[in-house]
Structures are given as structure tokens and as C-alpha cells.
Chain A
Amino acid sequence: QQPVQSPQAVILREGEDAVINCSSSKALYSVHWYRQKHGEAPVFLMILLKGGEQKGHDKISASFNEKKQQSSLYLTASQLSYSGTYFCGTTPGPARQLTFGSGTQLTVLP
């Protein structure tokens, strides 16, 4: 079952913060986050496993609430390079395939 991402699109100014949410109606084992720039390949950002851990690198971090079956991606002090479409992918178990959400288009303006 495809996870639901929100919002569908967001526009912000350089330096502002953004949150992208990913939720599922089914129990989740892992959540994967990717960023795709227009016409390019998706690029891996991070994986979160059930257990409620939070991960991050640089100014991008994410959390995973397994009880609520949802994950949030936090972009702090956005940079122009953060623009792109963010996809979450979820798995219901350790040996199951990724199912991607429909994406959140993030535009960072100068």
C-alpha cells in the first residue's frame, strides 16, 4: 500500500525550515527518504528503522514513529540546493520491497 506524503508541494525562502510527512495505514518496518531533482535519478538520504530513532546529516533529519506509522523529514535553514521532489519509501517487513509515496515537491527561493 502506497504511503501518503504531505504536503504535495511547498515553497519557501532560503533559510526557512520545512517538514515533510509520510504516513501509512499499515505497520511499517522501515522508512527510506530520497530526493530527486528534475530529470535526474533519486538520491538516497537516509533510512529509519522501527524503534523511533531519529537520524540526520547536515541540516536534514528525520524521525520515525512506528506507533503512528509515520515519518517526518525535517529540513532546517533550507538552501537552494534542497529544491527537488522528496520521496518516502516504506517497507512492512525486513524482506519486503519498497513502496514509494507520490512525492513532495520542495522549492527553495532565494
Chain B
Amino acid sequence: QQQVKQSPQSLIVQKGGISIINCAYENTAFDYFPWYQQFPGKGPALLIAIRPDVSEKKEGRFTISFNKSAKQFSLHIMDSQPGDSATYFCAATTGKLIFGQGTTLQVKP
């Protein structure tokens, strides 16, 4: 299976809260998992990425948690800010990048 299933489709969080977006995959050959962030009217941009040999990667307020046995990975945005409001795409690859359906995040002031 080449799909990456992403949830939720949309998310509303209060400023200062934690935003959590989840992704699941079937293909155990996937070995690189990036997250892209897309603001309205802009193209996606790489936010953070992880390999399956680590369980967590943190960059500032953004953390990827990876559960290899469950074939799941998630993005946590700590202390969410209105400027984080965007669409987030998870992806997985072993050659061709397979994207999830996207999650639209709205952070309310």
C-alpha cells in the first residue's frame, strides 16, 4: 500500500495550545518522513523530517513523534500561534514522495 492516511482533515486550536496531526502508513519500506507546511497562496515548504531509526525529532516548537511498530507518526506544535495557521502535509518515501491529504490548522487568538 502506497497511501499515507492523515488526520484530522481540519483542526482548530486556541493560541498557546498543542496542535497534533497524525499520519499512518502501510508500506514498511518507507524510510523518510517529511512534513510540509503550506500557507494560503503559497507553495508547500519543508518544515521538519524524520527517519525511522529515531523515535522523536524536535525543532523549536515543532516535534515529530515516530512509532515504527504502529506505523504511525505525528506532528506536535507546542504553544501554537496564529502564525502557525496553515495546511500541513505529512509524507513518506522510499523513492517517490507520497503525501497525506493535508490538515488545515487554524489557531485562534
Are A and B part of the same complex? no
Binding site for B on A (CB under 8 A): none
Residues of B within 8 A of A (CB): none
